[in-house]
Amino acid sequence: MELLLIFLIFISSVIFVAQPLFQPAVLDTSKTKAELAALESEKLSLYHQIKQVEMERDLSLLSEEDYQSARQRLKLEASQVIGRINIMKVKR
C-alpha cells in the first residue's frame, strides 16, 4: 500500500512538472497583430510609391534610368516586407 501511494505521488509530481512542456506556446497576440498591421501599412505605402514613380515617368518627370532604379528598389523593399508578413502569418 505504501509503495502504491509513493508511486502515485511520484507520477502526479512528474505530470505536474512536465505539463508545460506539452502545452502550446502562448504568443503575445496584441503585439503580433500590431506588428502585422504595421507591415501591411508599409506594404501599401510601398505599392503607392511604386505607382507614384510610374506616374512621374509617364509625365516625363523621371528619366528611364531613374525610373528603373527607383522601381527596382521599391519592389525589393516590398518583397522583403511581404516575406516578413508571410513569416509572421506562419508563426500564428
* Model confidence pLDDT, tens digit, residues 45-65: 999 999 999 999 999 999 999
Give the cell for residue 74.
521599391
Contact 88, 33 (CB under 8 A): no
Residue 40 lies in a domain: yes
- Can you give the pTM of this predicted structure? 0.66
Query: Under 8 Å CB-to-CB from 71, ≥6 apart: which residues?
Result: 50, 53, 54
Per-residue exposure over 64-86, b if at least 16 CB sit within 10 Å of its own CB, e if not: eeebeebbeebeebbeebeeebe
User: What local confidence, expressed as pLDDT, does residue 49 receive?
Assistant: 97
Within-domain flag for 45: yes
* 22, part of any domain: no
Matching residue, cell 500564428: 92
14 in a structural domain:
no
Q: How many domains does the chain have?
A: 1
